[in-house]
Amino acid sequence: MGYPKTGFKLRCLSSKFILTLERLYAPRNQKLRQHLRDARERLNITQQELANKLDRPQSFVSKFEIGERRLDVMEYVDVCEALSIDPVKFLGQLLSDAAKKKWL
């Protein structure tokens, strides 16, 4: 069996795998990715420049922005700090927007 064209390595077709994909593409995860990308673009920082600040490859930034990978909490903090964003305020604003729009 081959791998799906999404770029994910398919380990098995189990309910756990399907739940992982559903969580990755859940509206709140999409919004988080979009808000981080919007913040980067507002600052006129390229993916490569952000990756350099994080000491990571450019593909790291690309993959979390398009949803191919998730950020863990500490990676999220690192990204925010590299963008000179307060991670707590940023997340608070995201959650406030989520509550108003009911997509959380």
Q: What would the pLDDT profile of 43-85 be if each residue is shown by its tens digit?
A: 999 999 999 999 999 999 999 999 888 899 999 999 999 999 9
Higher pLDDT residue, 64 or 3? 64
Q: What is the pLDDT of residue 103?
A: 56
Q: What is the pLDDT of residue 19?
A: 46
Alpha-carbon torsion, ordered 10, 12, 16, 17, to 10 deg: 20
Q: In the predicted model, is pLDDT for residue 3 greater than 50?
A: no
Q: What is the pLDDT of residue 29?
A: 84
**pLDDT confidence tier of residue 8, bands split at 50, 70 and 90:** very low
How far are the Cα atoms of 20, 34, 59 from residue 38, in angstroms, in the given order? 25, 6, 17
Cα distance between residue 74 and residue 56, in whole Å: 14
